[in-house]
């Protein structure tokens, strides 16, 4: 019993230290991350555009693959809404490149290997996090959070975001 109680306390402490999600209207932090080809992508390069930044735990795993496939399958709908879709994980650019190739993703996957962005936006508790939390942010052309998605369901996320875009136009 003592061991179980200690584990419960440790688990509660780990949850309590998780970075908070950013609220709608909050400025999204500036970032600079390499994509699957090694090209650096920055928040500044997306200024004036709306983008969906979807954090995923691990390239090639079932839930991440399903979420990516659903986003891929609706990419034309996102483009019609003027939204760029961009994935982020702790995977290496090489692993993300293999994921893009295997799934024919028409969007960039970024590598946040040092967890800097993830820690700022609630996708990681600390630098030792093994994987990113499955969260997303819809960031507006003004660099502010339009919508924050906590506890994303991989199968329905693409449709959820598209519905939110139609409900709350820029």
**How do the residues of the chain divide into helix, strand and coil, expressed in percent and rounded to 5?**
40, 20, 40
Is 3.40.30.10 the CATH classification of the domain at 21-167? Answer: yes
Global pTM value: 0.87
Identify whether 64 is a catalytic site residue. yes
Side-chain-facing half-sphere of 34: CA atoms under 13 Å: 15
Question: Which is the catalytic residue, given 52, 53, 64, 165?
Answer: 64
Q: pLDDT tens digit string along 89-115?
A: 999 999 999 999 999 999 999 999 999
Percent of the chain with pLDDT over 90: 83
Domain ranges of the chain: 21-167
Alpha-carbon distance of 63 to 87, in angstroms, equals 13
């Amino acid at each position: 019993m003592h061991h179980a109680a200690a584990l419960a306390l440790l688990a509660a402490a780990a949850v309590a230290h998780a970075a908070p999600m950013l609220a709608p209207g909050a400025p999204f932090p500036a970032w600079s991350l390499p994509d699957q080809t090694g090209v650096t992508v920055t928040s500044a390069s997306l200024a004036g555009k709306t983008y969906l930044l979807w954090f995923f735990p691990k390239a090639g795993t079932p839930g991440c693959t399903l979420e990516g496939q659903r986003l891929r399958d609706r990419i034309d709908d996102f483009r019609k809404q003027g939204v760029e879709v961009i994935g982020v994980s702790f995977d290496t650019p090489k692993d993300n490149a293999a994921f893009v190739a295997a799934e024919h993703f028409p969007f960039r996957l970024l590598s946040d290997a040092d967890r800097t962005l993830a820690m700022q936006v609630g996708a990681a508790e600390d630098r030792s996090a093994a994987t990113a939390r499955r969260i997303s942010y819809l960031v507006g052309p003004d660099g502010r959070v339009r919508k924050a998605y906590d506890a994303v369901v991989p199968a329905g996320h693409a449709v959820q975001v598209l519905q939110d875009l139609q409900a709350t136009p820029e």
